[in-house]
Chain A
Amino acid sequence: SAVISQKPSRDICQRGTSLTIQCQVDSQVTMMFWYRQQPGQSLTLIATANQGSEATYESGFVIDKFPISRPNLTFSTLTVSNMSPEDSSIYLCSAGTGGTGELFFGEGSRLTVL
């Protein structure tokens, strides 16, 4: 199994600013994913964070708005750039092992943009 620490757990931000969310895994994992969950909605995959290469973004999400870093096999960051109230959401990371395919989730970061 893997334990994922995600921070901040919540934040309130001003329009136009940027926030970086960190995701730390207690073991090396092959895959890390970032998601958004808007109020009352299911999860939407933002991107897959690849170690040693650029992240792979889903349709509707772009690197300029959601830059992602994956410097090693245990850590990733997601930045929400130039925020607007529409970015208010819960952002979650998950990690998966290529072998078993299990997924482990962080607790989520609840972002409110004023």
Chain B
Amino acid sequence: KNEVEQSPQNLTAQEGEFITINCSYSVGISALHWLQQHPGGGIVSLFMLSSGKKKHGRLIATINIQEKHSSLHITASHPRDSAVYICAALYNNNDMRFGAGTRLTVKP
């Protein structure tokens, strides 16, 4: 069964803190996406991973194929990082499953 589990559900941090959001999935994915949804509702794809690690500015995404686990890290967090972060797994049968989302609030 294709499942995606994401944690934590809610996260509050002080500006400058290092943040980690976790995502676990079942076997058989072809890619994993990290998405960001701001309060206005628009969704942006941050990363698409099939192996290894990607970095964009203060954002880092990693994936461990053996452990079926991915993490999204935010370094030097800022209030503008406040958003909902969603991981999405694309399975080999083109089935796409979403984590429940992590609501991040970064306080100044």
Contacts and interface: CB of A to CB of B under 8 A. Distances in A.
Interface of A: 31, 33, 41-45, 48, 56, 58, 90, 92, 94, 100-105, 107-108, 110
Interface residues of B, number: 23
Interface of B: 30-31, 33, 35, 41-45, 48, 50, 84, 86, 88, 90, 94-101
Given A43-B88, A92-B43, A107-B42, A101 B98 contact: no
A105 B44 contact: yes
Nearest to B42: A107
23 contacts: A31-B94, A33-B96, A41-B100, A42-B84, A43-B88, A45-B95, A45-B98, A48-B96, A56-B94, A90-B41, A94-B43, A100-B48, A101-B50, A101-B90, A102-B45, A103-B45, A103-B88, A105-B35, A105-B42, A105-B45, A107-B41, A107-B42, A108-B43
Contacts of B98: 42-45
Nearest to B41: A108
B42 A108 contact: yes
